[in-house]
Amino acid sequence: MDNNRYKISPLMAFMFVLTLTTILNSYSATAAELETYIVHLNSAKGQGFDQSQDRETWYQSFLPSTTTGGLTDERTMVFAYHNVLTGFAAKMSAEQAKAMETMEGFISARPQRKYSTQTTHTPNFLGLHQNLGFWAGSNYGKGIIIGVLDTGTTPAHPSFNDEGILPPPAKWKGKCDVAGCNNKLIGLRNLTGISEEHFDEDGHGTHTSSTAAGSFVDDANVFGNANGTAVGMAPLAHVAMYKVCTLEDCEESAILAGMDAAVEDGVDVLSLSLGGESLPFYQDGIAVGAFTAMQKGIFVACSAGNSGPFNSSLSNEAPWILTVGASTVDRKISSTVSLGNKALLDGESLFQPKDFSKTLLPLVYPGANGVGNTAWCAEGSLDDVDVKGKVVVCDRGGDVGRIEKGQTVKDAGGVAMILANEATEGSSTIADAHVLPASHIGYKDGVAIKAYINSTTSPLATLMFRGTVIGVESAPEVTSFSSRGPNLASPGILKPDIIGPGVSVLAAWPVSVENNTQTSTTFNMISGTSMSCPHLAGIAALLKASHPDWSPAAIKSAMMTTADQVSLNGRPIEDERELPADVFTIGSGHVNPSKANDPGLVFDIQPDDYIPYLCGLGYTSQQVGIIAKKTVSCSETILEGQLNYPSYVITLASGQNKTYTRTVTNVGEAKSTYTISVTNVHLPPGIILEIRSPALKFTAVNQKVAYDLTFIRDSKAQMNVPYAEGSMAWAYGKYVVRTPFSFKFI
Ligand SMILES: *[C@@H]1O[C@H](CO)[C@@H](O)[C@H](O)[C@H]1NC(C)=O
Ligand SMILES: *[C@@H]1O[C@H](CO)[C@@H](O)[C@H](O)[C@H]1NC(C)=O
Ligand SMILES: *[C@@H]1O[C@H](CO)[C@@H](O)[C@H](O)[C@H]1NC(C)=O
Ligand SMILES: *[C@@H]1O[C@H](CO)[C@@H](O)[C@H](O)[C@H]1NC(C)=O
Ligand SMILES: *[C@@H]1O[C@H](CO)[C@@H](O)[C@H](O)[C@H]1NC(C)=O
Ligand SMILES: *[C@@H]1O[C@H](CO)[C@@H](O)[C@H](O)[C@H]1NC(C)=O
């Protein structure tokens, strides 16, 4: 990707977003139509406001109440920001936004984007055990505050019981907009402005917040499955929920308001299971807000997106964010398809009825007629198909929810559903709370079932429910929906950064999925990078508790350089779409919390180090200023690859060489010497790596040592692929500090 595409004038940038947003929201913005605009003002003018009142008065001056042609100007302030940006969100028309352009101190105004939201067993799977090791050593995240921006949460849920949890630290300034907060759930802010009966109509935020820091709850299960102790990653940490999403959507103005409040309130970690499409960082509210958080020492984890397995499908690509992909855990909720030809095919379903037919039933694939909607079991598509009393095969995809497909089958009189992956989804299956007996199976198994249906005049099948199976040795595997690189907004930074549990994760839920009533202990199993993000946020809280002096970049580096490369079976982590998992899929690898606690060396980055990097992306000084919240003059630029990042993207033409400098900080033993051995360097054919420092010698903790790496592409070597990958690791005693390489050949 060419950096030039970001060298656009401010006016063009404004028009670009306007067009994009209009297309995305698929309505034509007439002059009279009011939209929420995000307005950026010049930071220099915004400095020196001691009283928030002065600032808001200044903001308000951009929205004069005028009367034109007998019509009152309807522009109204939605949010006035104090931390994450100098500016505000206001409802106005495109013409009114344009009218502000001439006002002094104005930088930009653009319609807001819409973002989308994308056990219990997982701590053990990640090597966290009660009273042992890192979990005990980090005091379970005691005293750390995790801010979660989501759909809200459920205060009365036992996952938010505060037994044994101390009051929040004195720095905490947040508050609760509703009753029900305690020492676990210390903050609950409503920033949506939408009327909803409960504080989390959706359930998503209850799930993510309990995954990050839920308290211990015994006998947690769904339909009796996955029974065990439910607990978040940092059970003694505090949770502050910023409700920025409704059942419908997540508005950028509310997300910015949530981050603004979280920074003010004093959170230590932020978890955002939210994302939109790739945009330059100064136009991406999450990137802009996360930068301020990072400047204040707050660690920010975000979901990578659920738009996989397609290339360049990532959200949240900024280097100051930890971008988290989704992988499986070693647990399946088994539902086996038994065919009339005696074949048995393993699938999954969370709903496991005890009394399902043991005898074979008629089996049908309505999609055999070649109609997409029928194959996908879209709503109403089975009305003219005889599925009564039958087991129905539905294909995954077609923009129809997996559970919705089952509802269509049920409505049409079908008795069970076999949900078959399409080719791109490979063997990625999910245990969902289906509304009827079901089995979600992989692509190849689906093809086998369809071939069987073709082979006989009376195809038959039934489902056998085998409950919870632990110890699936191929885990972790990357699931098909996890978004992939390459990074579009900053092609020289490798993303995603890391993967963590995001498939069939059990955590708190506001209502019973069995009967939709509110009961005391309700859980649900859902899937998404939305689920992997709070795992990493919780682990960041543990690391922060055990290393209060580590910067966000140091915490991130510790997680990335120690991430696992192999699954339980000892083989390289696989991609469930039946390909090897490449760096664009797993980034640095699968998080290993205990190793992250003792990484030996870290690649640290100071907030101001990002400024020459942002200037190097071709952004104007003003655009960088929007992100950095200060006056920036882009006199100094660095290439993306010169940021002190714990991974590399190396673009090389034939015969070309490139040199990268990195600086590591010793957080391990004072006297230590890290070396490189041949076994720790992996390079694709035709690439030579020159390391002029064969050893990094340290005599003190926190000592920094810099070194250069030169990558040379042999002009004689024939490169038949556009991309390749590799890695290197510095090693000393038990420490292995690994950094992955992604090569692009041009
Ligand atoms: C959130 O705020 C909006 C607007 O003030 C209000 O209508 C809604 O009821 C609030 N939601 C909850 C759950 O309090
Ligand atoms: C869950 O496990 C607990 C403790 O082992 C047990 O008492 C309880 O009956 C189990 N619940 C279910 C639904 O299996
Ligand atoms: C992107 O997708 C295509 C087609 O699936 C594939 O050939 C290519 O290697 C992928 N990866 C990258 C990094 O472009
Ligand atoms: C089954 O038969 C249909 C129609 O004859 C054909 O289109 C399809 O490819 C066959 N499927 C398999 C898996 O053999
Ligand atoms: C709904 O299901 C839950 C289990 O999740 C059970 O405890 C509760 O009693 C059920 N409520 C009703 C009204 O059936
Ligand atoms: C790297 O490239 C430069 C020219 O771009 C050349 O002068 C230098 O010798 C090369 N170094 C190596 C190690 O190939």
Q: Is the pLDDT at 8 greater than 50, yes or no?
A: no
Give me 190's structure tokens. 């409503």
Q: Indicate whether 169 and 273 sit together in one domain.
A: yes
Q: Indicate whether 461 and 534 sit together in one domain.
A: no
Pick from 441, 481, 507, 688: which is nearest to 577 by CA? 481
Considering every ligand atom shown, identify the ligand nearest to the alpha carbon of residue 241 and give its number. 1
- 162 noted as active-site residue: no
Catalytic residue among 40, 43, 93, 150: 150
Q: Indicate whether 319 and 339 sit together in one domain.
A: no
In Å, the largest CA–CA distance within the chain is 81
Q: Indicate whether 678 and 556 sit together in one domain.
A: no
pLDDT digits (tens, 9 = 90+) for 204-235: 999 999 999 999 999 999 988 888 999 999 99
- Please count the CA atoms within 13 angstroms of the CA of 327 that sit on its side-chain side: 33
pLDDT digits (tens, 9 = 90+) for 94-103: 888 998 999 9
Confidence of residue 45 (pLDDT cuts 50, 70, 90): low
Q: Is the pLDDT at 652 greater than 60, yes or no?
A: yes
Helix axes 285-295, 621-628, angle to 10 degrees: 60
pLDDT digits (tens, 9 = 90+) for 509-543: 999 988 888 877 799 999 999 999 999 999 999 99
Q: What is the CATH number of the domain that holds 238?
A: 3.40.50.200
Average pLDDT over residues 53-78: 71
Per-residue pLDDT, 247? 81
Q: Indicate whether 191 and 291 sit together in one domain.
A: yes
Residue 112 within any structural domain of the chain = no
Q: Measuring from atom 8 of ligand 5, which residue has the nearest CA?
A: 519
Q: Is the pLDDT at 339 greater than 70, yes or no?
A: yes
Q: Indicate whether 211 and 286 sit together in one domain.
A: yes
Q: What is the CATH number of the domain that holds 457?
A: 3.50.30.30
Per-residue pLDDT, 1? 27
Which of 438, 470, 502 is the endpoint of a domain? Answer: 470
Q: Measuring from atom 9 of ligand 2, which residue has the nearest CA?
A: 219
Contact by Cβ (8 Å): 360, 389:
no
Confidence of residue 120 (pLDDT cuts 50, 70, 90): low
Contact by Cβ (8 Å): 234, 141:
yes
Pick from 573, 426, 579, 429: which is nearest to 498 by CA? 573
Q: Measuring from atom 1 of ligand 6, which residue has the nearest CA?
A: 657
| Residue 163 structural domain | 142-329+477-597
Distance 744 CA to ligand 6 centre (A): 18
Neighbours of 604 (CB within 10 A): 22
Lowest mean pLDDT among 4-8, 586-590, 625-629, 666-670: 4-8
Average pLDDT over residues 272-280: 94
Q: Is the pLDDT at 50 greater than 80, yes or no?
A: no
Q: Indicate whether 559 and 443 sit together in one domain.
A: no
Residues β-bridged to residue 326: 500
- Residues 475, 478, 483, CA angle at the centre, nearest 5°? 160
Per-residue pLDDT, 25? 26
pLDDT digits (tens, 9 = 90+) for 123-136: 787 778 877 788 88
Average pLDDT over residues 698-727: 95
| Residue in 194, 206, 245 to alter for ligand 1 test, most ligand atoms within 8 A of Cβ | 194
- Please count the CA atoms within 13 angstroms of the CA of 292 that sit on its side-chain side: 27
Average pLDDT over residues 55-72: 70
Q: Indicate whether 484 and 459 sit together in one domain.
A: no
Q: Indicate whether 299 and 206 sit together in one domain.
A: yes
Contact by Cβ (8 Å): 320, 290:
yes
In this structure, the chain runs to a length of 746
Distance 364 CA to ligand 1 centre (A): 47
Residue 629 within any structural domain of the chain = no
Give residue 362's Cα distance to chain centre.
41
Considering every ligand atom shown, identify the ligand nearest to the alpha carbon of residue 688 and give its number. 6
Contact by Cβ (8 Å): 218, 229:
yes
Residues β-bridged to residue 35: 92
Residue 65 within any structural domain of the chain = no
Q: Which of 507-511, 599-603, 628-632 has the highest mean pLDDT?
A: 599-603
Residue 586 within any structural domain of the chain = yes
Q: Indicate whether 166 and 309 sit together in one domain.
A: yes
Average pLDDT over residues 461-481: 93
Give me 419's structure tokens. 């949900």
Per-residue pLDDT, 64? 65
Residue 384 within any structural domain of the chain = yes
Give me 543's structure tokens. 């690391």
Q: Indicate whether 346 and 298 sit together in one domain.
A: no
Residue 526 within any structural domain of the chain = yes
**CA dist 136 → 145, 233, 283, 530, 546 (Å):** 18, 12, 41, 26, 10
Residues β-bridged to residue 602: 665
Which of 470, 486, 521 is the endpoint of a domain? Answer: 470
Residue 543 within any structural domain of the chain = yes
Looking at this protein, which amino acid is placed at residue 544?
K
The domain total for the chain is 3
Confidence of residue 577 (pLDDT cuts 50, 70, 90): confident
Q: Is the peptide bond before 459 cis (omega within 30 degrees of 0)?
A: no
Average pLDDT over residues 667-695: 95
DSSP class of residue 281 equals G
Which of 451, 470, 489 is the endpoint of a domain? Answer: 470
Q: Is 447 in the pocket of ligand 4 (CB under 6 A)?
A: yes
- Which residue blocks in 474-568 are alpha helix, DSSP H? 529-546, 552-561
The pair phi, psi for residue 179, each rounded to 5°, is -75, 160
Residue 83 within any structural domain of the chain = no
Confidence of residue 40 (pLDDT cuts 50, 70, 90): very high
Q: Indicate whether 663 and 696 sit together in one domain.
A: yes
Tell me how far apart the alpha carbons of residues 558 and 565 are, in angstroms, rounded to a whole number.
15
Collect all residues with Cβ–Cβ distance below 8 Å to 684 and sequence separation of at least 6.
Answer: 724, 725, 726, 743
70: left (phi over 0), alpha (psi -120 to 50) or beta: left
Q: What is the CATH number of the domain that holds 661?
A: 2.60.40.2310
Helix axes 529-546, 204-213, angle to 10 degrees: 30
The pair phi, psi for residue 13, each rounded to 5°, is -60, -40
Give residue 85's Cα distance to chain centre.
23
Catalytic residue among 108, 530, 551, 567: 530
Q: Is the pLDDT at 6 greater than 50, yes or no?
A: no
- Please count the CA atoms within 13 angstroms of the CA of 273 that sit on its side-chain side: 35
Tell me how far apart the alpha carbons of residues 148 and 304 are, in angstroms, rounded to a whole number.
16
Confidence of residue 314 (pLDDT cuts 50, 70, 90): very high
- Please count the CA atoms within 13 angstroms of the CA of 112 that sit on its side-chain side: 25
Tell me how far apart the alpha carbons of residues 295 and 242 are, in angstroms, rounded to a whole number.
20
Catalytic residue among 121, 157, 204, 434: 204
Contact by Cβ (8 Å): 328, 576:
yes
